[in-house]
């Protein structure tokens, strides 16, 4: 059908664009580059999250259906402002794209990532019908 042909040609065009862009990227041997050290801990917990009791923290995580491993994992955030409060430009971009509150996995992962921790997150996704 005409719709299928249009969709197929659009997909082929996108793949071709991707190939062209990647051909421009040259491989980099990072073993030959000496990188300076840097602080990986960018996270300052929001005051409302700093002194949560163990029970309050577990209640928050249960309410978000989160299971968290590791020692002393930071508290999940409730708003993007709690993680990015000083970055007004980032908050403006999030709002302009209608990201008003973090998803459960974002709520826990953002503080962990900003703290320089390794994160493995698994979340159910919404099913979209096209």
Q: What is the pLDDT of residues 57-76, one digit of tens each?
A: 999 999 999 999 988 899 99
Distances (CA, A) of 21 to 13, 30, 31, 95: 12, 21, 24, 30
Looking at the predicted structure, is the pLDDT value of residue 105 above 60? yes
pLDDT band at 4 (very low <50, low <70, confident <90, very high): very low
Contacts of 111 (CB under 8 A, 6+ apart): 43, 45, 74, 75, 76, 77, 83
Tokens 């197929």 correspond to 8
Q: Return all residues near 43 (Cβ < 8 A) that are at least 6 apart.
A: 74, 83, 111, 114, 115, 116
Residue 116 to residue 57: CA distance in whole angstroms = 20
| Mean pLDDT computed over every residue of the chain | 86
């Amino acid at each position: 059908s005409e719709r299928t042909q249009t969709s197929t040609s659009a997909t082929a065009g996108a793949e071709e664009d991707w190939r062209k862009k990647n051909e421009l990227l040259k491989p980099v041997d990072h073993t030959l580059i000496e990188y300076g050290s840097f602080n990986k801990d960018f996270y300052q917990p929001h005051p409302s999250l700093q002194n949560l009791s163990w029970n309050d923290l577990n209640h928050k995580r249960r309410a978000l259906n989160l299971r968290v491993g590791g020692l002393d994992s930071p508290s999940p955030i409730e708003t993007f402002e709690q993680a990015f409060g000083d970055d007004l430009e980032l908050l403006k971009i999030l709002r302009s794209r209608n990201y008003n509150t973090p998803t459960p996995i974002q709520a826990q992962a953002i503080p962990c990532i900003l703290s320089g921790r390794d994160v493995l997150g698994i979340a159910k996704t919404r099913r979209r019908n096209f």
